[in-house]
Amino acid sequence: MEFSIKQGSPEKLKSDCVVVGVFDGGKLSKAAQALDKAAKHALSDLIARGDMNGQSASTLLLHKLPGVAAERVLLVGLGKAGELNSKSTVEILGATFKALNATPAKDAVLYIVDEGTGKDAAWVVRQAVFAAAEQAFRADGMKSKPAKAATLKHIIFASLEKPAAALKSALDQAAATARGMELTKTLGNLPGNVCTPTYLAAKALALGKSHKGIKTTVLEEKDMQKLGMGSFLSVTRGSEQPAKLITMEYYGAAKTQKPIVLVGKGITFDTGGISLKPGAEMDEMKYDMCGAASVLGTMQAVAEMGLKLNVVGVIPTCENMPSGKATKPGDIVTSMSGQTIEILNTDAEGRLILCDALTYSKKFNPDTVIDIATLTGACVIALGHVASGMFANEDKLADELIAAGEQSHDRIWQLPLWDDYQPLLDSNFADIANIGGRAGGTITAACFLARFTKEYRWAHLDIAGTAWLSGKQKGATGRPVPLLTQYLINRTASK
């Protein structure tokens, strides 16, 4: 999908559809007023008849209005002016693109970006790009007869006044982020018999070939054994699929600048191992690699944007399967850091692969390390499917991530990382246990990882509740690619 920005009067711009806003009570936006005047008050007449009242996220499609160059006019309800928030604005944009995709329109001109949405134009443009991409996304690529591709191909963000120069940059960044989200969703939706660790490694290598700024390296199990990654390798023991450790290095700044390292959990299928999960909805455990997929999507977006920043992606990826070779509850393994771990539950495997990847990340002399993982069901209970959980060992880093989450509408909520929780991970037989009991499960998982991240600035994102949707809307969401890209954009601006 293509996006562009243009200045002009709505009645004069030729397109398949022009979109203007109507406020609650039938008050026309400035662009709608211009159309109404050109169409000899056709809009105000239909509003007077009660066909459109401006209720938030309502839509009305009109055809061939006199005096209007566009084939169609889509009226979109903006609700009460000055009372909209981020949630309602996103809902309005979603309704807009749903209505547009129900028409044969191949291109559309939007005038609802900076009129009464309660947000600055750049924010609305970003959310509009995400909404357009979401409506165009198809998850049925493995069906024998996939659905027809979306007809809408080109979105023009138009304004009556000259658009701010920064708007073009925001648009380009949003488009790159949306393509990164598309990659993340596509990988997340693939079944475990297709998206194996080897498949993920091949995708990462292909990303390196298609983007010259990315250097991809894949370590095999024998390499991990030499590095002493006993924790990571304990998870893959029951699988026939070989584990991989993928690194993607992007250097957009001087190599003397310390990189930001993104570590993504890549369990391509999680049965729970010997601590077997219940059968219901186990198919959704193909999404246990969404942390890895988000790193791939973010690295692609960073390379497309050409950010003047150094970023490294680290992806530990394997399956967690039960077999005669699988790790057993009570087994003790030695991590790359030298700390020994008593594995009380083999379904708490994400932290076992992440801890070695976090130790490995030290080799890059990082400025900051952020790990992203579908780590705990407890996070879903705590925060539902709205916010991702976030932990950080530095308040400034936490504040930066929270701000990026608000800017991108990919929000997070900070949870405590207090030492008071650490005794729950005590083991009689090893340095640490891999679980701390039911109480505070999201927190103790983060506290486990914290023991491996004391030498650098670090944050942990638990995306178990936000990486995918269940039920009729089942599918990967592409989160937290918007959050991560916005954070990196902000870091670039601060340099």
Residues with catalytic function: 277, 351
What CA–CA distances, in Å, run from 13 to 28, 31, 36, 73, 125? Answer: 19, 12, 15, 12, 19
Write the DSSP symbol of residue 28. Answer: B
Q: Rounded CA gap, 81 and 102, in Å?
A: 27
Annotated binding site: 265, 270, 288, 347, 349
Q: Rounded CA gap, 264 and 296, in Å?
A: 9
Specify the DSSP element, H or E, that contains 6.
Answer: strand 2-7
Annotated binding site for Mn(2+): 265, 270, 288, 347, 349
CA terminus-to-terminus distance, the chain: 31
CA atoms within 13 A on the CB side of 304: 20
What CA–CA distances, in Å, run from 112 to 14, 20, 68? Answer: 17, 6, 17
Specify the DSSP element, H or E, that contains 227.
Answer: helix 221-227
Nearby residues of 447 by Cβ (< 8 Å), 6 or more positions away = 417, 421, 422, 424, 425, 436
Q: Rounded CA gap, 298 and 266, in Å?
A: 15
Is residue 266 classed as helix, strand or coil in its secondary structure? strand
User: Would you give the distance in Å from CA 439 to the centre of its chain?
Assistant: 28
Task: Take residue 404 and report the two structure tokens written for it.
Answer: 């990026």
Task: Take residue 367 and report the two structure tokens written for it.
Answer: 């400025």
Q: Rounded CA gap, 178 and 166, in Å?
A: 18
> Which amino acid is residue 438, in one-letter code?
R
Strand bridging mode 2-7 / 154-159: parallel
Q: Which residues of 110-138 are buried (b: 16+ CB within 10 A; e: fewer)?
A: bbbbbbbbbbebbbbbbbbbbbbbbbbbe
Got the DSSP string for 104-173?
A: --SEEEE--SSSSSSS-HHHHHHHHHHHHHHHH----TTSSSPPPPPS--EEEEEESSPPPHHHHHHHHH
Report yes or no: 314 and 200 within 8 Å, Cβ to Cβ: no
Nearest partner of 314 among 366, 375, 248, judged by Cα: 248
Is residue 264 classed as helix, strand or coil in its secondary structure? strand
